[in-house]
Amino acid sequence: MNMPILSQMDDSINQLSLAEQLWLMERLVQRIKENTINQKSRFESDLIAMANDPQIQHELRVIEEEFAFAEADGLDVR
């Protein structure tokens, strides 16, 4: 964290009226929500890309084959 800048921001916020501070908080909340949604969308896009990647599909099949013996262990939850 850049403490000097945060300290300056805190000092500036203290000089704002209550209405201005409330506006600023609402703007920050909106920005955080937008960033969170964007990150989630990118994460989901990455998962979709991985699921469609032939190399990853191949690796998953290899792993499935390696652990196929475990399917007969009686721990199936279906």
- Which tokens in the block code for residue 18? 């209550």
Place of tokens 């007969």: 72
3-state secondary structure of 44: helix
Instruction: Count CA within 13 A, CB hemisphere, residue 21.
Output: 10
- pLDDT of 17 reads 97
- Tens digit of pLDDT for each residue in 18-60? 999 999 999 999 999 999 998 888 899 999 999 999 999 999 9
- What is the sign, positive or negative, of the torsion defined by CA atoms of 31, 33, 37, 43? positive
Its pTM stands at 0.52
